[in-house]
């Protein structure tokens, strides 16, 4: 049974590279270790922590590389609250302040009552204060301005998020083409 320290280590992010060293995903240490033990991936970098079992201790990976090249289709993400918050980096798109997920709402830039759709191009992360201020109006009508227009989640967005998450782990730098 892992202790509390191991549980935290098992949730740490691991950069996943294709066989060609192209970054394709981020996964928890727990999943990365399974991929390595199955022979699907190899460890390229370690994060300095150990994972302990009853009979051994292994180094936790920081970067893994798939052993065989996998064709990655054009990446799309499901439209969800979590993915909108990730895309917008947990930042209110009106006031620019960063908030925990629990203190953010999703706002329809063009209100649904005015024909606004629930899609990537019309939803943004928004704090409660800005959402209340905007109400059922267009941002300009409420005296608000978007920091940047909403956009679909793309491979470029995914790579940006990998870079943001990877800033805390120097071992990722050489794989993310800073």
CB burial readout 46-77, b (16+ within 10 A) else e:
ebebebeeeeeeeebbbbbbbeeeeeeeeeeb
Domains of the chain by residue range: 4-73+155-176, 81-142
Domain at 81-142: CATH code: 1.10.30.50
Residue 138 has a pLDDT of 97
pLDDT in tens, the chain (178 residues): 445 555 678 988 899 999 999 888 888 899 999 999 999 999 999 999 999 889 999 999 999 999 999 987 766 678 889 889 888 989 999 999 999 989 999 999 999 999 999 999 999 999 999 999 999 999 999 999 999 999 887 666 666 777 777 777 888 888 886 5
């Amino acid at each position: 049974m892992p202790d509390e320290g191991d549980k935290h280590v098992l949730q740490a992010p691991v950069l996943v590279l294709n066989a060609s060293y192209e970054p394709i995903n981020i996964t928890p240490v727990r999943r990365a270790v399974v991929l390595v033990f199955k022979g699907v991936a190899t460890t390229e970098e370690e994060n300095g922590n150990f994972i302990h079992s009853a009979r051994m201790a292994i180094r936790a990976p920081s970067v893994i590389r798939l052993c065989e090249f996998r064709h990655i289709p054009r990446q799309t993400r499901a439209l969800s609250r979590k993915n909108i918050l990730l895309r917008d980096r947990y930042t209110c798109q009106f006031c620019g302040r960063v908030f925990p997920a629990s203190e953010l709402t999703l706002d329809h830039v063009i209100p649904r009552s005015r024909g606004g759709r629930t899609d990537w191009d019309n939803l943004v992360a928004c704090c409660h204060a800005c959402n209340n201020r905007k109400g059922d109006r267009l941002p300009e009508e409420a005296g608000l301005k978007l920091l940047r227009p909403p956009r679909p989640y793309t491979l470029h967005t995914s790579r940006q998020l990998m870079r943001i998450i990877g800033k805390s782990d120097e071992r990722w730098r050489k794989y993310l083409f800073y």
